[in-house]
Amino acid sequence: MKKINIIFVFLLGILLFSCSKDNSNETQNPPGDGSGTQQPQPEPEEPKAIDLSAYDNGNGVMMQAFYWDVEPRFEWWDNLAEKVPGWAEAGINRIWLPPASKGQSGGYSMGYDPSDYYDFGNYFQHETTETRFGSREELENLIQTAHNNDIEVIADIVINHNSGGGLEYNPYRGYETYTLFDEEHGNASGMFNRNYEDFYPNSVSQYDPGSLFYAETNLDHHREHVQDWLWKKDNSVAKYYKNVMGFDGWRFDYVLGYEPWVVKDWLDEVGGFSVAELWDGNANILANYVEETGSRVFDFAEFYRLEEGLDRNHDLNSFKGGALWKTYPEKAVTFTANHDTEKDPNQDNFISAENKMKAYAFILTHPGYPTIFYSDYENTSFQDEIKNLIKIHNSIATGSLEVLYVDDDEYVMKRNGTGTNPGLILYISISNSTKRRSVSSNWKNVTLMDYSDHSTYHPTSDENGAVTIEAPANGYTIWSITE
């Protein structure tokens, strides 16, 4: 009996040793490795971004290529010419230049005090030959450089008021006014000479239907002489700018100062891209102007909704308000800043630096034609982010729009895409903490990523397209599919 027990114990020991050895090998040596050394397990693969360049949606972005009192004086055209190739690469397809002709302030003029419409820095008057921006030759080089890079050039046209003429007795006002423009008085080119009969009031028009801004030198567009020289004659301002200088379109300054038919007649005569500065936050007034003129209009209504929501009221419900892009998306030129808003001390007329990128994220994902302000783009703190937003705008910011959620501190919007273009979802938050929200997407069983690079979260939608996305504190994210 003792011998049998010893044999039993011996066999049991062999069996236990064999089992222990198998378990040890399974732990120490993963399949396919005979080294006997523990190998690191592969990390889960990061989702791969889609190639946005493969989704060119035909959109573009305009650059406002100046700010108030640009420096250095006499070098601005050359400065812009150097930047044009980089802007083209970033997705800019138009640049809006400041008024290019000689103003009363000469070498200090920003062009909004027009004196000689045909002096682009090639006549000596108002104590300078070059304009603040440079010479005519430098301007022509800039325009050609832009065209070589497939960028259109937009002329800022100031046709409400004139400045810098000579004194003459004005019988309709009963005193002397600065309304004499000829070769010796602020119009060295000798083209579009004018006198008091071309301004309000005169022998035909007894009152000024527009604003009283520069009332004594407010041009009367009902006069045939004025119409001929501004847009009708072969060498009119409009046709000279287009056919000789090479401008591709118009930014109409201060259209509150003259009737809408002026812009319509101008465009009927010469065509080209156009956008009007109708400074009014009422979306219905902007829409009426579009209908009367056929021109695009700066979407001041949307600008004020952004300012109210992000700055003044800190309530994103403001985004529900009226905006031109909601009724005429193809005619709305959206923006977050311009030369006037940035120099205006009124806090209700500009969007603060801390909120500006959220405003750019809004206009560069929504319908409308966005404008980038030079000073923002050239700000090293903003430039890379704006470039990325332009890339998103020109690729996946397309299709019908659907607001998925909005409250005081969150706004979620979906662009539905078109065809094979997946579209996007924008999530803006002004909360002090990270937010997450479940929304309905168009993407089923797909892993998403944030193309704004503000989140490393990679949610996956379910079989119905439901997905939970997030936005960082006081920031934004832009979601779309991955490969």
Q: Which residues sit in the known binding site for Ca(2+)?
A: 160, 228, 234
- DSSP label at residue 208: -
Judge contact between 61 and 364, C-beta under 8 A. Answer: yes
> Distances from the Cα of 310 to the Cαs of 83, 342, 362, 412, 475, in angstroms?
31, 16, 11, 15, 11
Is the distance from CB of 220 to CB of 118 less than 8 angstroms?
no
Binding positions: 160, 228, 234
Full DSSP string of 6-42 = HHHHHHHHHHHHHHHHHHHHHHHS-TT--SSSPPPPP
- The CA distance from 256 to 279, in Å, is 8
Measured from the Cβ of residue 191, the count of other Cβ atoms closer than 10 Å reads: 17
Q: How far apart are the first and last CA of the chain?
A: 72
CA 46 to chain centre: 32
Enumerate the active-site residues. Answer: 253, 277
**Cα–Cα dist 148/135, whole Å:** 20
Category of 270 on φ-ψ map: left (φ > 0), alpha (ψ -120 to 50) or beta: alpha
Token pair of 212 as six digits: 């009283």
Reply yes or no: is the peptide bond before residue 99 cis, omega within 30 of 0: no
Name the residue among 202, 194, 208 with its Cα closest to residue 172: 202
* Residue 172 to residue 154: CA distance in whole angstroms: 37
